Amino acid sequence: MSYRVYDVSMTIHEEMPVYKNKPEKKPEIEVIQDFDTGSARESRIHLDVHTGTHVDSPLHMLPDGGTIETVDVKPLTGPCRVVDLTDVEGGIRRSDLEKYEIREGDFLLLKTRNSEEDAFDFDFIFLAEDGAEFLASCGVRGVGIDALGVERSQPGHPTHKKLFQAGVLIVEGLRLKEVPAGEYFMVGAPIKLRDTEAAPARVLLFEGLSATGV
């Protein structure tokens, strides 16, 4: 069997882009032991749970929402669709999505011009409220986007809330520049943290696998 693997995760390092370029969100990696002081190398990392490619849990926006360990990983492992929205400016709206014949149970990865930039863009493309409402009404199981946030400049965070309230999973910080639009098998489980509202994830897309992964 022949297949191709796309790693669509951000590399975590101290100079990586973070949300709004806030210094306190930058990861810190410290070598606590090296071969000049011991027989093995060991490192320690100080990491915001929303660093790089990550999965949000409902608690991120809903006070009574579940923490990251309550998120079912099954919807994050299975078929997904990359949709090309690189011509969209500003917010992705219902009218931008209707042409894609979105199906119940789809996991959509929104490829935008965000993937062309490595630095944080304060005007990044996001999923607008009516776009989120439309996807929730379609019964999608998840939405991923190539930005460090699924929304921006929307008072009250309605995009997050409409998706979470419909049971839709959210993955942020994807890198989709090299990935053509189409169908893939995704593995995108978050780190198994406890009592947090998000966790970094390694997201892989497999081209050439069936929906069952064989």
pLDDT one-digit tens code per residue, 155-182: 999 999 999 999 999 999 999 999 999 9
| Residues annotated as part of the active site | 60
Q: Are 109 and 176 in contact (CB under 8 A)?
A: yes
Which helix (H) or strand (E) element contains residue 45? strand 42-46
Query: Domain limits of the chain?
Result: 4-10+49-207
Query: Which of 47-51, 80-84, 108-112, 208-212 is least confident?
Result: 208-212
Q: 190, 201 in Cβ contact below 8 A?
A: yes
| % of the chain exceeding 90 in pLDDT | 94
CATH entry, 4-10+49-207, from 3.40.630.30, 3.40.50.150, 3.50.30.50, 3.30.365.10: 3.50.30.50
Characterize the bridge pairing of strands 107-111 and 142-145. Answer: parallel
pLDDT band at 86 (very low <50, low <70, confident <90, very high): very high
User: Rounded to an integer, what distance in angstroms lies between the CA atom of residue 108 and that of residue 141?
Assistant: 8
d(CA 176, CA 156) in angstroms, rounded, equals 28
Q: Which amino acid is at 211?
A: A
Helices (H), the chain: 94-97, 129-138, 158-165
- Looking at residues 92-117, what average pLDDT do you find? 97
pTM for the full model? 0.94
- Give the SS3 label for residue 194: coil
CA–CA separation, 205 and 182 (whole Å): 11
- Strand, coil or helix: what is 209? coil
In angstroms, the Cα distances linking 47 to 24, 73, 74, 83, 145 are 10, 22, 25, 30, 21
Whole-angstrom distance, CA of residue 97 vs CA of residue 85 = 9
Residue 64: pLDDT band (50, 70, 90) is: very high
CA distance 166 to 73: 17
Reported as type and span, the H/E element at residue 84 is strand 77-84
The stretch 179-190 carries a mean pLDDT of 96
Residue 28 to residue 87: CA distance in whole angstroms:
36
Query: In the predicted model, what is the mean pLDDT of residues 176-205?
Result: 97
